Amino acid sequence: MGQISSQIGSEVRNLLKMALMAGGGLLLILAASFLSAEPMATFFRVLSLAGTGMLLFSVVMMILTFRKASTVKPGALLVSLSITLVTLGVQMLVSPALPPMTVGLLAFAAGGMIGFGWSRTRLFFVDADQVRCRGTAWYLAVWAGTFALNQLMGSLAGGAPAAVAGSLLVGSGIVLGSTGEQLLRWRKISGRLASHDGTRGVAA
């Protein structure tokens, strides 16, 4: 439990550092925008370009690193899940329009099932007493499919608030399903480690 608390604290500190860096970047963009004839239009144009650049960067990084093994950190997973659910709650409160409750629940449940199945395509193993995982070709394929579907839904909806909220529900469900599955497997393998030597190759 102490290890998880330490991981949560470390993750929160990293997030605060990232938030400060992002805030500094926004201030610099805003300051530079006032040098143009139309400051606010320039600001949002640059912000849109920056968002597109970050999206492309994340796609490239996923393709390059999905097979790279990483240590499973339950604390980091819990922080990520908490941020996702808080963001979802805020978006639902401020959204001018929401999908019908039945549709919303189905969207969230569908996302949960996709996330659970997506996480199952990860390979979990033990190395030096650490639970680790890495992606597989199926992991990349499912990610590519859900990414393309999300972009298509956004284009077809044309930015309609109810459709945006529905897409957010699906995405949040994916995070919940994926995180839950990873935590279950981490707990299962950690239980084995408690009663066996942590040699490489114990998988689930």
Sign of CA dihedral 116, 122, 124, 128: negative
pLDDT at 91: 84
Distances (CA, A) of 76 to 9, 12, 61, 83, 185: 9, 9, 19, 11, 15
User: Splitting the chain (204 residues) into consecutive groups of 10 residues, what average pLDDT does each group show?
Assistant: 77 84 84 82 80 83 90 90 89 85 93 94 90 93 86 73 85 94 93 67 54
